[in-house]
Amino acid sequence: MHVPWGWIKQRPHFLAEELSDNFKVDIMIPKSFRTSNLTINESSLNINSVFKLPFERFKLIRSMNSIIVQILLKYRYRVHKYKYIWITDLRMYPLMRNLISSEQKLIYDCMDDVLEFEVLKEQYHELSSIEKQLFSRVDLVLFSSKELESRKVKKYNLQNSSYGLVYNALDKNLVHTEIFDKYNEIFNQYQINNYTVLTYIGTISSWLDFDLIEKSVNDFENIVYFLIGPIEQNIEVLKHERIKYFGSVEHKYIKTLVVKSDILVMPFKVNKLIEAVDPVKMYEYISFGKKIISIDYKELNKFSQYISSYKNYKDFKEVLNQLIDSSSNDSLNKNFIELNNWQNRKKEIITLIERIS
């Protein structure tokens, strides 16, 4: 995994937990030096932290880390003789490229178009070469979105048997988690004075539309934003008395934050990276039957019956006004939960794995 276990829970965390019911799963995660962005995600899985040097934006450091990690992985691969090697990011591939035997099956969970990350633009040619090598070797690719699948299948002429579309999902256990009083004070502080709480849950990075957020807090005197999640490095966040940053929170508190909020928001700037994203947060938002406002792009069409979308700030203002004035349903979307949980996604993945076994 390229994501620390203490990061806000994402697809790799959930799938590792689910697959451990059917397979013996060992998790290897590069050591994180940014502990302020981490939280506690309790787990009974065998999670191994792999030492790496910081400052990987420098090519020399990346080369040194590659050597360090390969030495550690070589030992583990020799001892455990894994049947499947699963990677969550193409940047993992060079670390085990020369260690995987022809008998071992390589699975790539392609959850983002890594070549489109703004912070990795300087590494574009290097990453493009790695991606090409990876797709020529991989036995199975799991795509998290239709757009991502379309791009890569066309680019690398993938055969039907070597890939599958496995959307993101929600944590079914989260729905039945208790509601804590941990955040009562800050919610009461605003709601008792008739403020509308707009909550975003997810990583805070370059894709967040701070211009739209700033315009809206200036135009609407009765709204406050709760932004919940780790802040990516080198991201200059918007400072305002009605924008509250919570940082990473334990996954068990997500339900509490969602239920207590008035409106859930996904204010993204649409670019090529975002167009290929199937947001985990949207599944969690929808499951609780809350009012949702989101930027409009093609990959979200499948959620159209559940969300209020906008294309520009004018649309956003109109939709927000409507949602503030409308009554709230706030009832569990049971049918959606049954169809879109990680247990069901695991079944889809096992079917695909059996195809290559």
| Span 212-231, pLDDT tens digits | 999 999 999 999 999 999 89
pLDDT at 41 over 80: no
- Span of 7-21, 40-54, 323-337 with lowest mean pLDDT: 40-54
Q: Determine how β-strand 243-247 pairs with β-strand 223-228.
A: parallel
Domain 172-337 falls under CATH 3.40.50.2000:
yes
pLDDT at res. 199: 97
pLDDT at 30 over 80: no
The per-residue pLDDT of the chain, averaged, comes to: 92
pLDDT at 127 over 80: yes
pLDDT at res. 107: 98
Quick one: average pLDDT of 19-43? 78
pLDDT at 18 over 80: yes
Task: Region of 43 please: left (phi>0), alpha (psi -120 to 50) or beta.
Answer: beta
pLDDT at 56 over 80: no
pLDDT at 40 over 70: no
Q: Where in the chain is the domain with CATH 3.40.50.2000?
A: 11-169+341-356, 172-337
**Percentage of the chain modeled with pLDDT above 90:** 71
In the beta sheet, which residues pair with residue 192?
A: none
| 3-state helix/strand/coil string of 70-125 | HHHHHHHHHHHCCCEEEECCHHHHHHHCCCCCCCCEEEEEECCCHHHCHHHHHHHH
pLDDT at 38 over 80: no
Reported pTM: 0.89
- Span of 159-168, 258-267, 324-333 with lowest mean pLDDT: 324-333
pLDDT digits (tens, 9 = 90+) for 79-120: 888 999 999 999 999 988 988 999 999 999 999 999 999 889
CATH architecture of 11-169+341-356: 3-Layer(aba) Sandwich (3.40)
In the beta sheet, which residues pair with residue 324?
A: none
Rounded-to-integer distance, Cα 95 and Cα 88, Å:
13
